[in-house]
Chain A
Amino acid sequence: MRKHPKMAFGISEDGQSLRLACLERDSYLVRLTRLDLAELDKPLYRAQEQLVDFGGQNWEEDASSGEIRIDDLSPGGAGSNTAQLDRLFGGARLQRGVIALNVNEENLVRGIGVPETKSDERAFLRANLEPRQLKRGDWQTSRFTINAENQLLLHKGANQLLDSLVGYANRHRKRYYFQLADSNDIILADHYRVNNLGDAQRALLIHLGRDYRRAFLFDNSQLVDIYPLNITQELPEPEMIYSRVSFALDNSQQPEPEKFVICGDLASEEVVAYFNFRQPDSAELLGFPLLSVDSLDPELATPVHLARFALPIALAQKALFPEETRYTPSNFLPGRLLEAQKPFKISWHGFLIMFAIFAVALFGTVTYLDGQKKFEATHRLQRELDHELAVLKLETAEIAQMQEEMRHFSKNMEAIRMVLKGKNAWSAVLDTLDRLFQSRPISWLTNFKRDGTRLQISGVTTNRNNVIIFADALPQSRIQKVTSNLVRGTTLWNFEISSDFPEVDWVGQIEAEMAAALALTKQEQELARQQEEAFAASQAKPEQASASPPAAPAAPLQPAKATPPAPAKAAPPVSGQALKPISSRYMPPLSEAQNSAGGQAATDYNAFIRALNTGDHEATLSLGNAFLRQHRGHVLEPMARWHLANRLYRAGEYTQAIAVIDPLVHKYDAHYPYALLLTARIDQARGNKRYLRLYPRILATFPDHPIRPLVEEDMASLGLGGEQ
């Protein structure tokens, strides 16, 4: 059942007439928008045996599958009434709203005084239904109260009006929504009671239909009784109607009503006038004061016309307000139809698929969360590795640079090896010949040239034995010709010798020079190591002798001297122009953290600086190296490293100086510009052209740094474009 329909169609069947009313709900305003009537060729109920079979398949007979399909509800047609039904239903566009129907009295069984217990109701059903019918569930019940007396209404059998509508819907591929099917008694009684609340008069509602003719007695808006009117004429006279009503009232032994309210197909001004004639001002037509009829054709909006449509209007109104609790809660629509109209109904296969969806979603969620966890772990590891890799790349940038330069060096060496192989033996040959001929006087050469791949010499000697000696001095030699000649009484021997060129091992010479340099460096390193060990040993002895004196407060750190004295064995720069020593204002200052450093590191640092200031070269080296070895990573390490490198630079030990200062030029901190400057100076001193790049880089990177004046001074001294 739809809770808040906007439009409802009430369709009532009464004999051969079908009446249709359409109500629209707009907030609190209800509009009557359509009234229509269809006169059938034959009634739907009175002569069922004469009706054409609706398609040969009654939905009631084929409902054993457990689920009703709308398609199966169709009787397949309405026989000879099809044209009238099509016109009535087709003109109303029933799919726009909900539909309310009445049920025929023929299919209704009334049970008076049936207790509201399940067993009693069950007994009542068994008494009035075939076992097969009972089992199949093709029945509906409803309870109705008349003057505080409870009635049980049982509807059984086919609802022909419903079948006609379903048949029409199937033929025309329409989808209708059935909201209500109710009995005429209930719908009329409810309608009058709900719309006439507070009416204290005794009123008799008289419905004069084609077949359905009843009178409803109300007292103080409460239904007192219902009387069937025994009017057999199809179109009775008003006198007949009045007499039958009076007869019914007399039989009921109820007091006379104060007013008569007339409705139904036979309601007319004449009937009302007759009732008023018999009882003045007592009769009126059933009115609908709460309905707006503005949108209705004025010809149809007359009281008589409206009274004739009392049943369909009452049905539509009840269907339009399902939330109205004053209506009797009754509905005779088949239960299976109501179930089939639920749009969200799910059967067992639906539940199966729902479970599958749940299972898939659960599996997917669990798997995804697990995968996400793994991914996050992998991603976290990736970030860590990337960070580590970036740090390592920075650290190994120096390696890459060195390797690149070494590759270039190797390439250069290989090129030199290729170029010089078997070449440039001329001076060696001439040197050999010069020394040889000097030892064999009165011999000289007249020609020296290359002939193809061989050397060819020609000369003169006074002793022909010399020719053999000359030839033996040359590789793969061959005496080509020896002739004699007498000149001024002396026999001269003209000779020609050809030979190969001697091989000069240029690469071997270069490698020998490298080996010599390597040996020299190793010797220097070994010497430095021995000095460090000796110094460490000499330091250890006094410490043992002092028997662990109490720890003294950290002494203030000492600044380095402006220009530490050059060591006695200071060597001049290899190829660079000598620069002035670095003054103290261009040395890295002690930071706050370094000044506040204490402990053994501060003591060692002070000792190192003292040795530096006193000019004790050996002690400076020993203490500096010991500090770097023992306090690696200490806040004072950069300072010790810079001063030690500066001392080595002043002493001409450039290789050592570079090795000491190198870590500072790979770490961008406050010491970096000072380290760069010192590196540039060392490079310049040892003839490494890198200083040509370093000086401009310092200026560009640190244009406002305190060392700028010294950088410019150095550049000017070196002719690099700085200020003189």
Chain B
Amino acid sequence: MSNSTRNTLVLAVILILVSALVTWQLAALNKKTEAARDHNRLAQASIDSLELQLATIDSLRLEYELQQAMMGQQSKLILGEDSPSITYGYLLDIMQWMKTNVNFDFAVADAKEGQATYNEYILSGKTRYANLLNLANQIEKQRLVMTVEDFSIGSEGTAQADTVSFSMVLRTHFITGGPDATEIGMKAVDPAYTAYPLFMPRISEEMLPWDVDPALLNVEDAKLIGISRGMAFFRDAQGIIRILSKGSRVAYGYLYKVDESVGKVVFKLAKYGLEEDYNMLIDSE
């Protein structure tokens, strides 16, 4: 091979290399430029969007201030977190704000797990109707979002004309980011209309002595509606939910056993002079 041919081949290789280098450099530069242009397009779109936002900042600020004012008013709030202690404390706070007292049994109805957004509680007891009405009114209208899922009231008869038995199934709702219970203050709520004692009997038969304490649960008229944490929930003939635990007294006997695993309770009753077991299963209806 002659020198000139060899040199031509070398030059050809250099030509290829130069061409490849030029192509690569131009491609890289184009890629860089395109990337910068894409970036600019996105940035311009963002700028347009932000400028649009800035143009509406005054109206947005006004709306925001209104919302802040609304939040400040705390018309209705969902708690950030709830527990039986929080709900029970809140109920006591309500009664303190009402400057009255309602005696009730308090129990957690069911343990909610996973994505639950509320806890359910049962209140049961006897009180003056006016107090009960005010309590329900406050629960429904105060700032904290609680819902009364079930409410039963039963007259206690002529002997306690101004007293009623009641039970209430209550749900305390909560949501992520909600306020703490301690941040929630009292809201001025119009008192309930209590001028008329709705459950007071005006005419009744002559009072006869009771064989058993009428306040005790009559097992034969009651339904077992739930068992939770060793407590059994019964609904009596008036629809009032009674909360009993092992050893609680009932008409003619006591609650002997609460079997949560099979949903069954056993009473020891001595209605006819002989103690016998009375089994009751959870009413599935």
Residues from chain A with Cβ under 8 Å of B15 in the complex: 353, 356-357, 360
Proximity bits, A372-407, B CB within 8 Å = 1, else 0: 101100110110011011001101101100110110
A572 CB to nearest chain B CB (Å): 14
**Are B78 and A402 within 8 A (Cβ)?**
no
Q: Which of A38-46, A513-521, A631-639 binds B?
A: A513-521
One of A353, A447, A460, A487 near B11 (C-beta < 8 A): A353
Chain B: minimal CB distance from A692 (Å): 10
Asked, given contacts A381-B40, A393-B50, A447-B153, whether A402 binds B2 with beta carbons under 8 Å apart, the answer is: no
Q: In the complex, what's the smallest C-beta–C-beta distance from B265 to chain A, in angstroms?
A: 22
- CB atoms of B30 and A415 under 8 A apart: no
Bound Cα distance A402, B133 (Å): 40
Known: A357-B15, A424-B148, A517-B66. A67 touches B203 (CB 8 A): no
Q: Which chain B positions have C-beta within 8 A of A619? A: none
Whether A462 contacts B203 in the complex (CB less than 8 A), given A416-B76, A430-B198, A450-B150, comes out as yes
In the complex, residue of chain A having the shortest beta-carbon distance to the beta carbon of B206: A488
Q: Which residues of B lie under 8 Å from residue A388 when comparing CB positions?
A: 43, 47
CB distance B177 to A408 under 8 Å?
yes
What is the CA–CA distance of A393 and B49 in the complex, to the nearest angstrom? Answer: 11
Q: Are B193 and A431 in contact (CB under 8 A)?
A: yes
Q: How far is the CA of A487 from the CA of B54 in the complex (A)?
A: 78
Whether a CB of chain B sits under 8 angstroms from the CB of A346 is yes
A403-B60, A434-B198 given; A357·B14 CB < 8 A? yes
- Measured CA separation A356–B72 after assembly (Å): 80
Residues in B whose Cβ lies below 8 Å from that of A389: 43, 46-47, 50
Chain B: minimal CB distance from A503 (Å): 14
Most chain A beta-carbon contacts within 10 A, residue among B76, B150, B204? B76
- Interface stretch, picked from A222-230, A303-311, A361-369, is A361-369
Q: Assess whether A108 is interfacial by the CB under 8 Å rule.
A: no
Known: A382-B40, A655-B69. A427 touches B32 (CB 8 A): no
Contact with B along A88-120 (1 / 0, CB 8 A): 000000000000000000000000000000000
Complex Cα distance, B11 from A446, in Å, reads 113
Most chain A beta-carbon contacts within 10 A, residue among B12, B66, B118, B150: B66
Interface residues of B in 215-241 (CB under 8 A from A): 238-240
Q: Mark A316-338, 1 if CB is under 8 A from B, else 0.
A: 00000000000000000000000
- Whether A437 contacts B198 in the complex (CB less than 8 A), given A357-B18, A399-B53, comes out as yes
Q: Which residue of B lies closest to A515 (CB)?
A: B66
Give the contacting residue for A67; candidates B2, B47, B196; CB below 8 A. Answer: B2
A406 B4 Cβ-Cβ under 8 A = no
Q: Give the docked Cα–Cα distance between A659 and B195 (Å).
A: 48
CB atoms of B3 and A412 under 8 A apart = no
**Selected contact of B50 from candidates A341, A382, A396, A509, CB within 8 Å:** A396
How far is it, in angstroms, between the C-alpha of A426 and the C-alpha of B169 when the chains are bound?
A: 12
A662→B30 CA distance, assembly (Å): 46
Residue in chain A with minimal CB distance to B150 = A450
Q: Which of B92-100, B136-144, B267-275, B276-284 contacts A (4 or more CB under 8 A)?
A: B136-144
Q: Which residue of B lies closest to A349 (CB)?
A: B8
Which of A345, A361, A382, A424 has a CB less than 8 Å from the CB of B43? Answer: A382
Complex Cα distance, B39 from A434, in Å, reads 70
Cβ of A449 under 8 Å from chain B: yes
Question: A506: CB under 8 A from chain B?
Answer: yes
Contact indicator A435/B54 (Cβ below 8 Å):
no
Tell me whether B36 and A382 are in contact (CB under 8 A).
yes
Q: Does B113 contact A (CB under 8 A)?
A: no
Instruction: Give, as a whole number of angstroms, the nearest-CB distance from A636 to chain B.
Output: 23
Q: Which of B7, B12, B29, B238 contacts A372 (CB 8 A)?
A: B29
Residue A251 at the chain B interface, CB threshold 8 Å: no
Determine the distance from Cα of A386 to Cα of B43 in the docked complex, in whole angstroms. Answer: 7
Smallest CB separation, B30 vs chain A (Å):
6
Query: Is A445 interfacial (CB-CB < 8 Å)?
Result: yes
- Residue B200, interface by CB 8 Å: yes
| A-binding segment of B19-27, B83-91, B252-260 | B19-27
Task: List the B residue with the shortest CB-CB distance to A686.
Answer: B72
Least Cβ–Cβ distance between A406 and chain B, in angstroms: 6
Please tell me if the beta carbons of B145 and A420 are within 8 angstroms of each other in the complex. yes
Q: What are the residues of chain B within 8 A of A658 when measuring CB–CB? A: 65
**Known: A350-B11, A392-B54, A427-B137. Contact between A444 and B145, CB under 8 A?**
no
Per the bound structure, the CA–CA distance linking A385 and B178 in Å amounts to: 39
- Report the minimum CB–CB distance from B198 to chain A (whole Å): 5
Cβ contact within 8 Å between B66 and A514:
yes
Chain B contacts of A434 at CB under 8 A?
133, 193-196, 198
CB-defined contacts of A386 to chain B, threshold 8 Å: 43
Q: Does B151 contact A (CB under 8 A)?
A: yes
Judge if B247 is at the interface, Cβ distance under 8 Å.
no
Checking A353, A374, A423 against B147 with a beta-carbon cut-off of 8 angstroms, the contacting residue is A423
Q: Is A689 an interface residue (CB 8 A)?
A: yes
| B7 CB contact (under 8 Å) in A70, A346, A435, A446 | A346
Residue of A nearest to B22 (CB): A364
Task: Give the complex CA separation of A518 and B66 in angstroms.
Answer: 6
Q: How far is the CA of A139 from the CA of B140 in the complex (A)?
A: 127
**Does B73 interact with chain A (Cβ within 8 Å)?**
yes
Cα of A368 to Cα of B26 in the assembled complex, Å: 6
A702 at the interface (CB under 8 A from B): no
Residue pair A444, B199 in contact (C-beta under 8 Å): yes
Contacting residues, chain A, for B75 (C-beta < 8 A): 509-510, 513
B50 touches A392 (CB 8 A): yes
A338 to B75, CA, bound (A): 108
Is B70 in contact with A513, judged by CB distance below 8 angstroms? yes
What are 28 residue pairs bridging A and B, where the CB atoms are less than 8 Å apart in the complex?
A346-B8, A350-B7, A360-B19, A364-B21, A364-B22, A371-B29, A375-B36, A382-B36, A388-B47, A392-B51, A396-B57, A398-B57, A411-B175, A416-B76, A423-B148, A426-B140, A427-B133, A437-B198, A442-B202, A443-B202, A448-B151, A448-B199, A487-B205, A509-B75, A510-B75, A514-B70, A521-B66, A688-B68
Interface residues of B (CB under 8 A from A): 2-5, 7-8, 11-12, 14-15, 18-19, 21-22, 25-26, 29-30, 32-33, 36-37, 39-40, 43-44, 46-47, 50-51, 53-54, 57, 60-73, 75-78, 117-118, 133, 136-137, 139-141, 145, 147-155, 173, 175, 177-178, 183, 185, 192-205, 238-240
- Not counting A360-B18, A361-B22, A686-B68, a sample of 9 additional A-B residue pairs whose C-beta atoms are within 8 angstroms of each other reads A353-B15, A388-B47, A395-B54, A396-B53, A396-B57, A406-B63, A416-B78, A434-B198, A437-B198
5 nearest CB pairs, A to B: A364-B22, A449-B239, A438-B196, A347-B4, A449-B152
